[in-house]
């Protein structure tokens, strides 16, 4: 059985996990829309000692692929800071979005900027924990919305051993069919380290990143369960509704995977 958990508020992640009957937690270590470096979590000691599996999500503002130096260079710095803080509390991985370029930019520049990010970290001894690159829902010049782009990115950075986080809502909204998606990812990356199991409020290929609880969006709940079943990796639900909504989604997945 994979470990199944939820993205929770960072104030008391262990309490939130208990309220949703989660075996894993994911949370932010700083404002997801801000550039401040993380500070030591108020419950750092308890988090380090917990039996729960812990994942940290990096801020949404990070974009190490961009051609804009005023965003790319601070993004590299902040990624390193969050990786160090996540490793310091015993996290299993740090999730980071693949990023995007402006419409007229050459994608090869974005791939090379990702390579430089890993190469510079390797020169400094590495990130200290796995960096899990997540597919994204929108942006016509995104690095990992489409899997042809994902394949090219892995051609460039694969030697550094990056991990991959597969988001079902992002894939659906980004225009990637969930049927056979795990096999397609494995053919590119060789791994799926984590699944973000989310329904989508919006239609296929809409480009809209709006998560929904299972059964209330555009993706069949059993399809989400099948992705989790096939991946065999840890699962985090990032669905709304607090403990009640997330708890129901976790219970559904747990029941579906046990009965398979």
- Measure the CA–CA gap between 49 and 35, rounded to whole angstroms: 28
pLDDT tens sequence across 113-153? 999 999 999 999 999 999 999 999 999 999 999 999 999 99
| Residues in contact with 169: Cβ distance below 8 Å, sequence separation at least 6, in sequence order | 137, 196, 198, 199, 200, 209, 210, 211, 212, 217, 219, 238
pLDDT tens sequence across 222-245? 999 999 999 999 999 999 999 999
Q: Is residue 1 very low, low, confident or very high in pLDDT (cuts 50, 70, 90)?
A: confident
- Measure the CA–CA gap between 153 and 98, rounded to whole angstroms: 9
pLDDT tens sequence across 173-232? 999 999 999 999 999 999 999 999 999 999 999 999 999 999 999 999 999 999 999 999
Is 119:160 a contact under the CB 8 Å cutoff? yes
How does strand 211-212 pair with strand 199-200? antiparallel
- Measure the CA–CA gap between 8 and 134, rounded to whole angstroms: 18
Q: What is the mean pLDDT of residues 78-99?
A: 98
- Domain membership flag for residue 116: yes
Question: Which residues on adjacent β-strands are paired with residue 27?
Answer: 56
How does strand 24-27 pair with strand 53-57? parallel
| Residues in contact with 193: Cβ distance below 8 Å, sequence separation at least 6, in sequence order | 93, 130, 132, 163, 164, 165, 233, 234
Domain count of the fold of the chain: 1
- Measure the CA–CA gap between 206 and 188, rounded to whole angstroms: 24
- Measure the CA–CA gap between 75 and 58, rounded to whole angstroms: 10
Q: What is the mean pLDDT of residues 81-99?
A: 98
Instruction: Provide the domain limits for residue 70.
Output: 4-234+245-259
Q: Outline where DSSP puts E strands in the chain.
A: 4-7, 24-27, 53-57, 93-97, 131-134, 163-167, 194-196, 199-200, 211-212, 234-237
Instruction: Please provide the average confidence, as pLDDT, over all residues in the chain.
Output: 97
- Domain membership flag for residue 149: yes
Q: What CATH code is carried by the domain that includes residue 20?
A: 3.20.20.150
């Amino acid at each position: 059985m994979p470990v199944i958990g939820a993205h929770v508020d960072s104030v008391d992640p262990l309490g939130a996990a208990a309220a949703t009957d989660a075996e894993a937690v994911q949370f932010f270590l700083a404002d997801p829309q801000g550039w401040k470096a993380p500070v030591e979590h108020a419950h750092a000691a308890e988090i380090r000692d917990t039996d729960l599996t812990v994942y940290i999500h990096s801020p949404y503002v990070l974009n190490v692929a961009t051609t804009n130096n005023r965003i790319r260079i601070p993004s590299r710095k902040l990624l390193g800071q969050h990786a160090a803080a996540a490793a310091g509390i015993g996290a299993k991985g740090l999730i980071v979005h693949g990023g995007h370029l402006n419409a007229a930019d050459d994608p090869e520049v974005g791939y090379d900027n990702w390579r430089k990010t890993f190469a510079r970290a390797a020169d400094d001894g590495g990130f200290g924990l796995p960096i899990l690159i997540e597919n994204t829902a929108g942006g016509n010049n995104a690095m990992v919305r489409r899997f042809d782009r994902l394949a090219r990115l892995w051609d460039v950075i694969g030697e550094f051993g990056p991990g991959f986080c597969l988001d079902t809502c992002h894939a659906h909204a980004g225009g990637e069919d969930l049927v056979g998606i795990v096999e397609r990812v494995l053919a590119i990356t060789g791994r799926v380290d984590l699944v973000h199991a989310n329904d989508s409020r919006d239609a296929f290929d809409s480009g809209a990143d709006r998560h929904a609880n299972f059964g209330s969006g555009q993706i069949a709940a059993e399809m989400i369960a099948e992705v989790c079943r096939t991946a065999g990796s840890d699962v985090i639900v990032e669905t709304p509704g607090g403990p009640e909504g997330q708890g129901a989604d976790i219970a559904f997945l747990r029941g579906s995977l046990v009965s398979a």
